[in-house]
Structure 1
Amino acid sequence: MPIAIFTLGIGVFCLNTTEIMVSGLLPSLSAEFDVSVSTVGYLISIFALGMVIGGPLLTVALLRVPRKKALICLLLVFVLGQALGAVAPEFWVLVIARVVTALAASAFFGIAVAVSAQLVGPELRGRALSILLGGVMIAQVVGLPAASLIDQHFGWRASFWAVGAVAGLSAVAVAWLVPVTPLPERIDVRGEVAALRNPRLWAVYCTNAMVIGSIVAGTSYFSPIFVDVGGFSPSAVPWLFAVFGIGTVVGNAIIGRFVDRYMMPLIFYGLIGVTLCLVVFALVAENRVATVVVLVVLGLIGLPLNPAMGARVMRVANDGPLVSTVNASAINVGVVLGPWAGGVAISAGAGLVAALWIGACMAFIGLLSVAPAYAATRRARPLDTAAMAAVPGSEAGPRP
């Protein structure tokens, strides 16, 4: 793997840390701006909404900009957004800062995926994506706890400054280590947009939203489930999240090795595993040992499906930045939908484990949506991975 892909992964780590760090700063932000915790929680939804709506528009605007230059500029805009948040005198200024960083994050993700695909070629795209998206997994294990720790010792503003500083160093690393990748000879903005007219692509987007939404529906309520249902002490909660986070990192490394050859089987059987994990968790949430076992398995097979889903998007459509940016937007729709549906179920009196049942239902819907494509790959004649990836719209790969 080119060192440039690891460099871009550091950038993804910064961007994703910013997306999720607010959940660890809720009490401090609530006290600072004299607003309710639920109001501060809207900062998470605002970030997701900025990625859903603004990211694709900004990506279109940058299509004619050399990709390395665009990546550096987006990281610098992100740093400015973090700085604005760090000095925010009022809550509405922090809201603006979240919108700015969300726009930069979404466009950066799409362009970084496109650059990674160019650097390795079709036969290693899945593995490259697993490294790039490893930044997302590490943000769960390192970024969020670090932001919370900094908040406890130096205040929440220091957390914003710290992430901004790492992003600034990442911009320097991109300038130094990421090579200039040539733009297509003819930049066809209409052609990039036309790729989004593919109905199969939108079916893939919907599947991806359901997959991530199913996992986030559960993880958003893990903390009260651990304490109020499982009987864990509050001090054990960070360790349980660490177990889950380490599982995602390990799972991402393992799945990334096999994505390019077994993309569809990984997605299909992975979704079966996610559905079963969430169902089992809902049934055994009162058992501490069983809870830990389920957490490990869910960590290994849940979020690590991301590289396979990203590779599928490129096979069905193309490796352009707009297609990948819209995929990030679709995933963020799931990030908003899953916790919202779980919260509605809990508010209706169904209990905390209702969020796990909601997640299981979403995963099962994702499984049903991907089943026809998986069946088609089983019927397809086994071909060389590189040759298969060169067939436009093909999802098939060598069968296990």
Structure 2
Amino acid sequence: MRPAKRAGKAPARGPVRAVAAVAALAVAAFCYGTTESLPVGLLPLIAGDLETSKSAVGLLVTGYGLTVAAVSVPLTKMTGRVPRRYLLSGLLAVFVVATVVSAAATGYWVLLAARVVTALSQAVFWPVAVVAAAGLFAPEVRGRAAAFVFTGGSLAVVLGVPLGTWIGQQAGWRAAFLGLSAIGMLALATIALLLPTTDPGENHAATGTAPNVRRYWTLVAVVSFGVGGVFTFLTYITAFLTEVAGYSEDAISPVLLVNGGADIIGLACSAALVDRGPRALLAGAAGLLVTALLGLQVFGDRPLMTVAMVALLGFGLPCMATAIQARVMEVAPGSTDIASAGTSAAFNIGIGGGALVGGLLLPWLGVRATALGGALLVACALAVLAAESRIAARAPRPEPAGRTPPGRSAQRPERSG
């Protein structure tokens, strides 16, 4: 990846410095991703130590996701004028302090409050971090830079949560949170040292290359349907593996490891392809996800086919996530930070909505139906994406001659792809 030529007040000096800054952002993404889901692995330990119910500990994850979805856009707007180095360093400082408070919590409500504060910082981190990373490199490879940040989030699922769970089992759940705070501190120091102190508007990735309001809102709908479909199944994958595929509980972790390994491969492949055509990659990823979910519906009682389809699902999801972010940086109608916050909120809505849809299907049609329900939702995302050009081509209402609507500026025509 080539570093961007345009620099701010304290430019990253050379490619090594830029790559190191993006690596620190990926490490920070790893910390946030691990922290979000870690209570699931430590659920019995936290519940026993704080003398609360397991369902209450589960709410630490649900409430975290809902907080991120609700405040991403407004908080990103509020912080839109803060130079990226100061903003990201401040967010990570909040993360470190809140995670230490989580580790020291003597009661459930203190832990819940610390989790909410962490979620507030994460709500701004994701949309700002990917755009900041993209701005460090030449425009033609900025999708690849953003994909590198996503690698941290994927490693959180594949490595961070299992490792944090193991540490919690060996040394207590508080040790796992303290370890994350230490890693977060390392990322904070690196970002504070290496990230340029640029004003948000000076970054070439601050605005879309082909802004289009209709295409952006179409993308938001695609995110909601696509992610919702995946998590309609993924939320209940453990029950599917045991009740439909016939795997024992001991075999679940290896199967999920296959899914995680495919996730990393999907990220690597999508990083190589995303800058050639984000919309095409998004359509291809959605097609893979529909195929995987339909395959699970049809062949779910065949263990080897189930593993193959779970791997395909793991491959397709990061391809979709990478393509979504790159597409945001094309069609964002205004600030890419705010547009990214909107798709981040839609992503979290999809996760929660998918879990809800799957939960409704479970008692009615059984766990196998979660795969079919998920496939139908992702197919809806594909249909919306196919209709994007027609939606964008709808002629706006004509304005009176000689009058320009307040706040409206001419939009540049969109590039193909």
Q: Do both proteins adopt the same fold according to a TM-score greater than 0.5, normalized to the shorter chain?
A: yes
Matched, 1:394 2:414: yes
Which residue does the alignment assign to 1:346?
362
Choose the corresponding residue for 1:8, options 15, 19, 25: 25
Choose the corresponding residue for 1:263, options 253, 278, 282: 278
| CA apart distance, 1:172 | 0.8
Q: Which whole-Å deviations, capped at 9, do the CAs of 1:334-378 have from their partners, x for residues lacking one?
A: 111111110111133x1112222221121111111111237899x
The 1:393/1:299 distance shift into structure 2, 3 A limit, reads farther
Amino acid at match of 2:300: A
Aligned counterparts, 1:296-307, within 5 A: 296-307=311-322
Q: Give the Cα separation in 1 of the matches to 2:160 and 2:144.
A: 23
The 1:158/1:392 distance shift into structure 2, 3 A limit, reads farther
Which residue does the alignment assign to 1:72?
89
**Cα pair 1:30 1:37 within 8 Å, conserved:** yes
Which residue does the alignment assign to 1:280?
295
The 1:393/1:35 distance shift into structure 2, 3 A limit, reads farther
Matched, 1:234 2:249: yes
**Cα pair 1:215 1:303 within 8 Å, conserved:** no
Which residue does the alignment assign to 1:335?
351
Q: Which whole-Å deviations, capped at 9, do the CAs of 1:200-239 have from their partners, x for residues lacking one?
A: 3222112112222222222211112112222212122111
Q: Give the Cα separation in 2 of the matches to 1:307 and 1:392.
A: 24
Matched, 1:98 2:118: no
State, as a whole percentage, how many aligned pairs show the same letter.
Answer: 31
Q: Which whole-Å deviations, capped at 9, do the CAs of 1:73-116 have from their partners, x for residues lacking one?
A: 00010111111211222212221111111111120111112212
Aligned counterparts, 1:353-372, within 5 A: 353-372=368-387
Q: Give the Cα separation in 1 of the matches to 2:59 and 2:195.
A: 35
Q: Give the Cα separation in 1 of the matches to 2:171 and 2:347.
A: 33
Q: Which whole-Å deviations, capped at 9, do the CAs of 1:293-325 have from their partners, x for residues lacking one?
A: 112211111233211111111211155322212
Aligned counterparts, 1:113-132, within 5 A: 113-132=130-149
Which residue does the alignment assign to 2:79?
62
Q: Give the Cα separation in 2 of the matches to 1:161 and 1:60.
A: 31
What secondary structure is seen at the aligned counterpart in 2 of 1:120?
A: coil
What secondary structure is seen at the aligned counterpart in 2 of 1:259?
A: helix
Aligned counterparts, 1:15-164, within 5 A: 15-164=32-181
Amino acid at match of 2:368: V
Q: Give the Cα separation in 1 of the matches to 2:212 and 2:38.
A: 35
Instruction: Structure 1 unaligned segments of length 5 or more: list them.
Output: 378-390
Q: Give the Cα separation in 2 of the matches to 1:354 and 1:19.
A: 28
Instruction: Structure 2 unaligned segments of length 5 or more: list them.
Output: 2-17, 393-410
| Bigger radius of gyration among the two | 2
Q: Give the Cα separation in 2 of the matches to 1:174 and 1:368.
A: 41
Q: Give the Cα separation in 1 of the matches to 2:197 and 2:359.
A: 46
Matched, 1:320 2:340: no
Q: Which whole-Å deviations, capped at 9, do the CAs of 1:127-179 have from their partners, x for residues lacking one?
A: 11111111111111111111111121112111111111111111011122322
Q: Which whole-Å deviations, capped at 9, do the CAs of 1:225-265 have from their partners, x for residues lacking one?
A: 11222221212211111110110111110111111112222
Matched, 1:215 2:235: no
The 1:146/1:196 distance shift into structure 2, 3 A limit, reads farther
Choose the corresponding residue for 1:249, options 259, 264, 272: 264
State TM-score, norm by structure 2: 0.85
| CA apart distance, 1:273 | 1.5
What secondary structure is seen at the aligned counterpart in 2 of 1:230?
A: coil
**Cα pair 1:85 1:160 within 8 Å, conserved:** yes
**Cα pair 1:33 1:91 within 8 Å, conserved:** yes
Q: Give the Cα separation in 2 of the matches to 1:395 and 1:356.
A: 36
State TM-score, norm by structure 1: 0.88
Which residue does the alignment assign to 1:386?
none
Which residue does the alignment assign to 1:381?
none
Q: Which whole-Å deviations, capped at 9, do the CAs of 1:372-400 have from their partners, x for residues lacking one?
A: 237899xxxxxxxxxxxxx8473632xxx
Q: Give the Cα separation in 1 of the matches to 2:308 and 2:126.
A: 32
Is 108-117 or 306-315 further displaced after alignment?
108-117
Q: Which has the higher helix share?
A: 1
